Structure 1
Amino acid sequence: MTASLGRLARTLLGGIGPIAIAVLVQSAGNLAFHAVVGRELNADGYGALGAVLSAMVMLGVPLGALQAAASALVARHGAGRATGVRALRAVTLWSLPPGVLVLACAPALRAYFHLGSSADAALLAPYLVVSAVLATARGLLLGDRRVGTVAATYLASTAVRLALGLGLVLPYGVTGALLGTLAGEVAALALALVPLLRPAPDTGPVAALRLRAVGRAGAAVTGLFLFSTVDLLLARHHLGGDASGDYVAAATVAKTVLALPAGIMAAVFPRLAAAWPRPGRARALLTGGAAVVGPALLGAAVVVVAPSLVLHLLYGDGFADAAGLVRTLSLVAGATSVVTLATHAGLARGGRTIVVPWIGAVLEVAAIELWHASPAQIAACSAATLAPTLLVIALLEGRAWTRRTAQLDAPRADLSGAPATAVAAAR
């Protein structure tokens, strides 16, 4: 027992700690950025900035798929300069056509979002390309367990965004704030590329990042995104007035419970991908699960104990009646971290359980379409559909990761990006 606790502590402090701290700093920096920019811009300007930043946030779903696929590639095949360069080159080529399309559509985007100039919309194009390559670079580093370097990229991005973005917002308004955001991504990418492009001998075969692997990761990440956010979208659709505001405020508080576990999951996932073919994989799942689920449950517990205080600190007295709603949705968010862990465990082993969050999202939509008379009713639907989703995926993944099979000492995945298959040694 003592040895297990010691192993868990080493994982949390050594392998997970740096990225957890970096994500916390980035979150605080993001709040500070919005607090200052919101005061410097008028309401119309801040609304325009928010629209473009929301589009950037939506890119997080495909970018998360790239990062997961890249980290699994290295975890299964081993790190190598040639593998990294090949993956970065492929993603750059994949992202250029969408970037050019966004650039061509800049005038239309300007009109749709009521932006001050087409330049504001055009900045989405380089942001898309840079962020795609950055996500891949971070994935390659995480697969090689260079968590400290990845944490440094988050810190560099936050520092540059605050320094340059806040410095440019006064003379250039929305464009200046967006330039600072783009510059932060460029700074992070430059820092990530240094170890990846450093000359070094390749110790293993060169592996390729395949679209099939990215597609599987995309399916898993998108399913989780829908499962954890569809209630918020439907609440905004079905509820009106104060009821809608209460749900959005409560859901925003609850979703922050998942911010830190999501960052930790990025560091845990390549460990799961590397551990799956090996006999000690159940221990890796338990250790990683404690690192991911523990902070989520702790954060949910803090909010449940003092929901009114959290609401007051964030929103003042405008949503004082949403305390009960915050409790329910925070508990749902904390438990959803188990679904997040199990889905990534399924992705790590190439299992079909990555479709479970999709099924859960469909059930949630169906339930909310039937019962949406109040915020409490929608929250109850979210909790009710979480229970079977969590139970099914936890049982399936728990069984898969604890099943005994005879395996090779160091099996490898094939170059398609599919996980290595457990092979029984028959003599």
Structure 2
Amino acid sequence: MKLDPGRLPGLLARGALPIAVAVAVQSAGNLAFHAAVGRLLDADAYGALGTVLAAMMMLGVPLGAVQTAASALVAEHGLSRASARRTLRLVALWSLGPALAVLACAPLLRDYFHLAGPAEAAQLAPYLMIAAVVAAARGLLLGARRVGAVAVTYLVATAVRLALGLALVVPFGVSGALAATVLAELAALLVAAGPLRHPDGAGTPGALRLGAVAHAGFAVTGLFLFSTVDLLLARHHLRDGSSGAYIAAATVAKTVLALPAGIMAAVFPRLLAGWLRPGRGRVLATGGLAVAGPALLGAAVIVAVPSLVLRLLYGDGYTDADGLVRALAGVAALTSLVTVLTYAALARRARTLVIPWLGAALEVALIETWHDSAAQIALCSAAALVPTLLLMLVLEARVWARPTAQLGPAGAEEARSAATAA
């Protein structure tokens, strides 16, 4: 599988750059948000906040499947005002049931994560509905190649979250910081609604298929569980300041995954198109470099000066967490490779999509067995990463390295099905 670095500038120029810049700003804003509220809240309260924010992210990740499906819908049928309204209404309806379920479970979530009250957990419900519709709106715009408009939604959401977060965290504590996050998503939706009301072209009627959303959702949910479940378990098992230290270290470390996730949105269509063509190994290798390269570079910087990063963001409260930052930054950087290989499996609709789920299950089992300290939980996360990444490399990269002629009838039919679905 040969690497072709010359393809990287073209990859960035054809859609990745605006999203990459917006996600980079969003990541910096996320760090600033955590740094600000981390200084204003005590360690235990910050641990509670970080856990609920991680849960918000976990609820939002399956919505990436909605975004992908909406984008494919517009790519096939075009974008019209009627189809946009129909899609947004349908997604809102789909998310209503899960949102009500989360609301009903708020007392249980309060007890499990040791929150101050059910109101903090209850904010997950409106976040889920708003984030679902935002994901659909962004997908519609991406399908219409309105990449700049999508980038603006990220920038506006970041600005609103920072401004309201600082204003609300002082009088309302954790609940205020969470409310700022919900309102930031609402602001993003209002921005996306503008270009959707006046689409550039006329589209033909098309329906968003729940089956297509479910298939993509299986992939991205397993991937996100694999990369984030340690934060939730750390809050459950660790007490007092230990959970806050883990959340702080993990927030710094996992930030290196944000920019690769944005670039992945541009790489994935290339994987879909390249799977059936000669040189598909180069497509995977080039996409892997575009996605994992920034993650590895960011992790190297964090590993070199963890104490400085922690001090700049959180002051002197978490300076003893530099070892955690190093370990978790390395885990996050290598997880970006799992991300690329998972999307490669999604591009060819392969059964290897189950591997991140197996990795997440292994991570949960290890942490449930060894969780006496933050260091133990970080080591368990690393121990789950190693076999997951190796298995994905053996099973997925090997297939992409084969010449197209070696697919065979069954493989060719699978490839044609994947291309048709795309």
TM class, shorter-chain normalised? 0.7 to 0.9
Does structure 2 conserve the Cα–Cα contact (< 8 Å) formed by 1:72 and 1:274?
no
In 2: Cα distance, 1:398 partner to 1:242 partner: 42
Q: Tell me: CA distance 1:97–1:359, structure 2 relative to 1, closer, same or farther (3 Å).
A: closer
Does structure 1 conserve the Cα–Cα contact (< 8 Å) formed by 2:54 and 2:232?
no
Report the AA paired with residue 346 of structure 1. A
In 2: Cα distance, 1:170 partner to 1:237 partner: 25
| 1:187 and 2:192 are equivalent in the alignment | no
Q: Tell me: CA distance 1:21–1:315, structure 2 relative to 1, closer, same or farther (3 Å).
A: same
Alignment partner, residue 251 of structure 1: 250
In 2: Cα distance, 1:107 partner to 1:370 partner: 26
SS state at 2:185 partner = helix
Does structure 1 conserve the Cα–Cα contact (< 8 Å) formed by 2:50 and 2:247?
no
Deviating more after overlay: 292-301 vs 11-20: 11-20
1:351-384 C-alpha deviation (Å, 9 max, x unpaired): 1111001112223334445555655554444333
SS state at 1:257 partner = helix
Report the CA distance between 1:18 and its aligned residue: 1.7
* Structure number with larger C-alpha Rg: 1
Unaligned runs of 5+ in 2: 408-412
SS state at 2:267 partner = helix
Report the AA paired with residue 131 of structure 1. A
SS state at 1:350 partner = coil
Q: Tell me: CA distance 1:59–1:242, structure 2 relative to 1, closer, same or farther (3 Å).
A: closer
Report the CA distance between 1:104 and its aligned residue: 7.7
TM-score, scaled relative to structure 1: 0.77
Alignment partner, residue 65 of structure 2: 65
Alignment partner, residue 410 of structure 1: none
Alignment of 1:333-412 (within 5 A): 333-371=332-370, 375-405=374-404
Aligned-residue identity in percent = 66
SS state at 1:141 partner = helix
Q: Tell me: CA distance 1:196–1:346, structure 2 relative to 1, closer, same or farther (3 Å).
A: farther
Q: Tell me: CA distance 1:79–1:42, structure 2 relative to 1, closer, same or farther (3 Å).
A: same
Does structure 2 conserve the Cα–Cα contact (< 8 Å) formed by 1:360 and 1:385?
yes
Deviating more after overlay: 388-397 vs 139-148: 139-148
1:26-55 C-alpha deviation (Å, 9 max, x unpaired): 233344445556778899998997776565
CA RMSD of aligned residues (A): 4.2
Report the AA paired with residue 207 of structure 2. A
Does structure 1 conserve the Cα–Cα contact (< 8 Å) formed by 2:54 and 2:228?
no
SS state at 2:419 partner = coil
Deviating more after overlay: 91-100 vs 14-23: 91-100
Report the CA distance between 1:188 and its aligned residue: 1.8
Q: Tell me: CA distance 1:227–1:132, structure 2 relative to 1, closer, same or farther (3 Å).
A: same
Deviating more after overlay: 16-25 vs 161-170: 161-170
In 1: Cα distance, 2:161 partner to 2:132 partner: 18
Alignment partner, residue 326 of structure 1: 325
In 2: Cα distance, 1:110 partner to 1:233 partner: 13
Deviating more after overlay: 214-223 vs 58-67: 58-67
Unaligned runs of 5+ in 1: 408-412, 423-427
Does structure 2 conserve the Cα–Cα contact (< 8 Å) formed by 1:220 and 1:355?
yes
Number of equivalences: 408
Q: Tell me: CA distance 1:395–1:43, structure 2 relative to 1, closer, same or farther (3 Å).
A: closer
| 1:80 and 2:82 are equivalent in the alignment | no
Alignment of 1:97-116 (within 5 A): 97-99=97-99, 114=116
Report the AA paired with residue 61 of structure 1. V
